[in-house]
Structure 1
Amino acid sequence: MGETEDISLPKATVQKIISEVLENDLTFSKEAREIIIESGIEFIMILSSMASEMADKEAKKTIAPDHVIKALEELEYHEFIPFLEQILVEHKETQRIKERRDAKFKKSGLSEEELLRQQEELFRQSRSRFNQTTSAADDSPVSESPPVEEIIKSEEN
């Protein structure tokens, strides 16, 4: 595995994934984690090589998700495909939302600097309101504002 010695997966991320899969009373040795990392690297290399071949067969210079799915089929990992197709749908939806949000900013006609200035002003106003409510008497009721997620969703629609 000479050329892949420099390649690794983040140990903390791999450990987190392993910990999420294991039952609470089980532990995982460092050596076992290293085997998982090496196996993961090897799988990624085989899959990407196969996907590259699929792209080459179609005279494409970019590996597309369809090439990866075809490579999984070729490698007989059919059980992964529905999960990955769902991930792809979710990714496309996220990208669509980001593109719509970016287009909204571009259509605003404001420069990035102006948008940043407005954002800073909103932060300043928010800090001011927060400081006013925290300096008020502790027994006075504080009105709740909607969660950030609701505000973002309402702006996207």
Structure 2
Amino acid sequence: MDDEQDRLLPIANVGRIMKQILPPTAKISKEAKQTIQECSTEFISFVTAEASDKCHKENRKTVNGDDICWALSTLGFDNYSEAMVWYLYKHREAERQKPDQNKTGRSNPHVQDKQLEESNYGNNQLGKQNNENPSSYSVGV
């Protein structure tokens, strides 16, 4: 049983996430937490395995965010994929601004104007090939 528990997401984190969406007075049974824990772990493993297979076929050893987005889309989770592409875009944008913030102690407006280097998958999903602004997109989840 220890081996199985080691591969599952931490139950405390699962419970905390579940509580965020429920009313403050709601109670969550241990069995409900365990069920969500097992299902979410299985989902993550399923998507990661698909992304890992892609990387293996491409002779790469590192799975990146674009691979996860591709796997979500390939497996039919298009809504999740669109949301993840948008999140990945925003995350990369924030990461590029960090070095500039560390130097000056605040954000440099010139950094915000820089074009992000994204993979072809991210470019396709955000409509960047047509020079459209991804911030004008709304992602339905």
Same fold (TM over 0.5): yes
Indicate the residue corresponding to 1:29 in structure 2: 29
Name stretches of at least 5 consecutive residues in structure 2 with no aligned partner: 109-141
Measured in 2, the distance between the counterparts of 1:23 and 1:6 equals 30
Written as runs of structure 1 = structure 2, the 5 A alignment for 1:8-157 is: 8-102=8-102, 104=103, 152=105, 155-157=106-108
Rounded Cα–Cα distance in structure 1 between residues aligned with 2:51 and 2:6: 22
TM-score (normalizing by structure 1): 0.59
- In 2: Cα distance, 1:82 partner to 1:73 partner: 8
Q: Whole-Å Cα distance in 2 between the matches of residues 11 and 76 of structure 1?
A: 27
1: CA distance, partners of 2:20 / 2:12: 12
Q: Which amino acid aligns with 2:82?
A: P
* Pair 3,48 (structure 1): closer, same or farther in 2 beyond 3 Å: farther
Cα distance in 1 for residues equivalent to 2:86 and 2:74:
20
CA positional deviation for 1:24: 4.2
Q: Which has the higher contact order (CA 8 A, sep 6+)?
A: 2
Aligned length: 108
- Alpha-carbon shift at residue 7 of structure 1 (Å): 2.1
- TM-score, normalising length: structure 2: 0.65
Question: Which residue number corresponds to residue 118 of structure 1?
Answer: none
Do the aligned residues in 1 keep the contact of 2:70 with 2:81 (CA within 8 Å)?
A: no
Name 2:7's counterpart in structure 1.
Answer: 7
| The structure with more radius of gyration | 1
Q: How far, CA to CA, are the matches of 1:16 and 1:57 in structure 2?
A: 37
8 Å contact from structure 1 (residues 55, 64) kept in 2: no
CA apart distance, 1:11: 2.5
Gaps of 5+ in 1: 106-151
Deviations 1:74-93 (A, max 9, x none): 22111101211121012102
